[in-house]
Amino acid sequence: MTVDSAVKAVRWQQAVIETITTQTPRIISVFLRARLERHVAGQHVDVRLTAPDGYQAQRSYSIASAPGADLLELAIERLDDGEVSPYFHEVARRGDSIELRGPIGGHFIWRGEDGGPLMLIAGGSGVAPLMAMVRAWSVAEPKTPLLLVYSARVWEELVFRDELLATQARHPEFLFIVTTTRGPRHRPEDLDRRLDGSLLRGLLAQWGHSPRHVYVCGSNAFVEAVTDGLVLEGVPPAIIRTERFGGDS
């Protein structure tokens, strides 16, 4: 990110909700019309809400939409004790305005010219920034091998599931593997246990490529377990980038 971009990123501005769609029982996609600088896959925005009494609450959300998309897509999970997510799930409507600043972030990003092979590992709602990478890849580098491993509790909690399945059907270089930790597998190639070293070893062997870039996003515990497993399997720590949030995956 350039100095000028960094300056722009800290400026709050208005964004308008265009539409809200349900992804899973606890996650929605909020599509915003905002005059932001073009983002890079993996970046995030800050959202700020202001109550009538002046109280403000702020939260960071990864951008799920592809760079250059007409609308900014945020995948927002409902947190029962949250200050921001209940607003989007219960109150927000088309035409409402919110405050945004961004795009923000220069480490956990991928551009087409970065190439691959590319390995993405998501836990729960951590798939959001990786979805932006998949979408950017499908336009810029669809001949570059890409492996997405997505861990969720059950099949019904997979965000962007139908789009990812369609992407796999359309692009032979895209391998999409699901592992469910509290429910049965739905496809023969999928798994039904938590990711660990032995599972990662098998996935890397099945893929048949040595990753040039690895991105891992999920809860603190998920990211720690996955990165430890990758390093034990010989993946160089220098090529692994992580982004994490609190809570369980």
Q: pLDDT tens digit string along 87-128? A: 999 999 999 999 999 999 999 999 999 999 999 999 999 999
Confidence of residue 243 (pLDDT cuts 50, 70, 90): very high
5 pLDDT above the threshold of 50 = no
Residue with the larger pLDDT of the pair 7 and 104: 104
Query: From CA 51, how far away is CA 87, in angstroms rounded?
Result: 11
Position 232 scores a pLDDT of: 93
Average pLDDT over residues 192-212: 93
Tell me the CATH architecture of domain 3-104.
Beta Barrel (2.40)
Backbone angles phi, psi at 14, to 5 degrees: -85, 140
CATH code given to domain 112-245:
3.40.50.80
In sequence order, the 6+-apart residues with CB closer than 8 A to the CB of 179 are 149, 150, 151, 152, 185, 190, 191, 192, 193, 194, 195, 199
Confidence of residue 3 (pLDDT cuts 50, 70, 90): very low
Average pLDDT over residues 168-179: 96
Position 246 scores a pLDDT of: 54
Angle at 181 between CA 180 and CA 185, to 5 degrees: 35
Using CB atoms within 10 A of its CB, is residue 106 exposed (0-12), middle (13-18) or buried (19+)? Answer: middle
pLDDT averaged over every residue in the chain? 92
31 pLDDT above the threshold of 70 = yes
Position 4 scores a pLDDT of: 44
Q: Which of 8-22, 47-61, 106-120, 173-187 has the lowest mean pLDDT?
A: 8-22
Can you give the pTM of this predicted structure? 0.92
Position 141 scores a pLDDT of: 79
Position 6 scores a pLDDT of: 47
pLDDT tens for each residue of 66-80: 999 999 999 999 998
Question: What does the domain layout of the chain look like in residue ranges?
Answer: 3-104, 112-245
Position 52 scores a pLDDT of: 87
Confidence of residue 150 (pLDDT cuts 50, 70, 90): very high
pLDDT tens for each residue of 177-199: 999 999 999 999 999 999 988 89
